[in-house]
Structure 1
Amino acid sequence: MHPAIAYAANADAYTFQTFRALVDAIVPYTPAMAVLGAEQPIGAVQLTVHEYMIWELDHSLTLVLGAYPEAVPLAAPTAGLLNAGAVQLAASGQVKYAAPGTVPFASFSPEDRIRTLAGLENLQIDLGTLPPPYRNDGGLVKYAVDFLNRQTMFGNYSEWPAYGATRLAAPTERRLAYFPIGWLQAGYPGVSKGYRAFRGYELTIVREGGGCCIV
């Protein structure tokens, strides 16, 4: 089995469903956009961005433990963070709809998932009920919510989904299988060494004693 497939298969269902629900709420599937082209209605779930988020949280973030930063798998604790926020939102009576299920965050409507994120970001939650390392650490909670929003968008519009079967392999082993759909959605034409770079503004400078030049 390819390492990418094995990694996705070994992620526990609770974590997998939580992140699938997260990215679906942030970049949803929009069939009404099909009139703009075949690639337009595709959302983050269709591009497997939830797998990207699990990979990034387990491999790319570090926490300072003791005197030195260490890479700490954070996907499962972050899924716990999202579900703790969902449970507290439900307890407040503010949830509009929740389907039956064992994963509270995933059972919510997309709107209530976004409201859960907002509640966490605004620290409208009992910090003592959160799983480590988020317990009683409001700064880390706010950072995590910001990361989840930004990194979902990054994963969706980057080349990562186009790595296909190698997308969850080590970065040096990834190979593009097709032109990234996120680039098509954003109108990005692809990598080129010839793109013009901003190098400052054109200014006219008048020198003492007369004369001028444009720089």
Structure 2
Amino acid sequence: MNPAVSFPANAYSYTIATFRALAEAIVPFTPSMAEYGAEQTAGAVQLHVHEYIIWELDHSLTLAVGFYPEVVPLAYSTAALLNSGASQMVASVNAQFAPSNGTVPHVPFAALSPADRVRTLSRLERLEVDLRALPPPFRNDGGLVKFIVDYLNRAVMFGNYSEWPAYGTTRLETPTRRRLEGFPVGWKQAGYPGVSLGYRALRGYPLTIIREDGGYTIV
């Protein structure tokens, strides 16, 4: 049975709100960097990295369904995992809620402060949750929980510092139909000059090989 086929009516807004909160917590908006230029203040949300995570979760990851790997939409299920982890943390520790922005109700992960969202990720990764209370396909599968949390941490950073933000209006197209509409902001933030035919780097040392009598000597 496909573990992610039945979604509630508000699944899209619920998923967007959850992953916006994730992206904001890992790479936040930093107004203190304004003196270095407006682009240096942009966080993952401003660069639409939450959309990258959702797209990848729904199109690129595979699960073993029966005896064969299959691409299964995982964005909504993973959002539900984060919200289940947030609810369990609130019930067990003194978590701090962020001010309500009045957007999407019933998204516990988004209601936490950014620091407590990171704590939720940490608790999930350490399996400090009731695995029986998690949504499918994560229920009672600690290995999958640890894998997806590790993936989420890396995906936010990859989306932020890759060419994703520069795809602009084509970013939600299939990869072959995406087109660069500018220079990636994350590259500017990191000081990466962009694609080149080659950068100066140590590739080894020149050697002279003298072949004699069926053998060789390296000089």
TM-score, normalising length from structure 1? Answer: 0.87
1:86 alignment counterpart:
86
2: distance between equivalents of 1:39 and 1:29?
10
Tell me how far 1:97 sits from its aligned partner: 2.7
Measured after TM superposition, the shift of residue 39 of structure 1 is 1.3
Partner of 1:167: 171
- Give a deviation string over 1:4-35, Cα, whole Å, max 9, x none: xxxxxx96111110000000000000000112
SS in 1 for 2:138: coil
User: In structure 2, what residue type is equivalent to 1:30?
Assistant: T
How much does 1:203 deviate? 7.5
Q: What residue in structure 1 maps to residue 77 of structure 2?
A: 77
Structure 2 residue identity aligned to 1:105: F
Partner of 1:37: 37
1:3-152 correspondence runs (5 A): 12-100=12-100, 101-152=105-156
CA drift of 1:202 comes to 2.7
Q: What is the alpha-carbon distance in structure 2 between the residues aligned to residue 53 and residue 11 of structure 1?
A: 15
Distance in 2 between residues matched to 1:159 and 1:99, nearest whole Å: 32
Q: Which residue of 1 aligns with 2:182?
A: 178
| Alpha-carbon distance in structure 1 between the residues aligned to 2:155 and 2:58 | 13
CA shift for structure 1 position 161: 1.0
> How far off its partner does 1:67 sit?
1.3
Deviations 1:109-156 (A, max 9, x none): 000100000000000000001111100000000000000000100000
Deviation at 1:99, TM superposition (A): 4.1
Structure 1 196/118 Cα, relative in aligned 2: closer, same or farther at 3 Å? same
Which residue in 1 is equivalent to 2:199? 195
Distance in structure 2 (CA, Å) of the matches to 1:76 and 1:194: 41
| Unaligned runs of at least 5 residues, structure 2 | 1-9, 211-216
- Structure 1, unaligned runs of 5 or more: 1-9
Partners of 1:206 and 1:158 in 2: how far apart? Answer: 42
Q: Which moved more, 1:53-62 or 1:31-40?
A: 31-40
Q: Distance in 1 between matches of 2:85 and 2:138?
A: 12
Q: CA RMSD in A?
A: 2.2
Over 3 Å counting, the alpha-carbon distance change for 1:132 and 1:198 in structure 2 is farther
The amino acid of 2:156's aligned partner reads T
1:39 aligned counterpart, secondary structure: helix
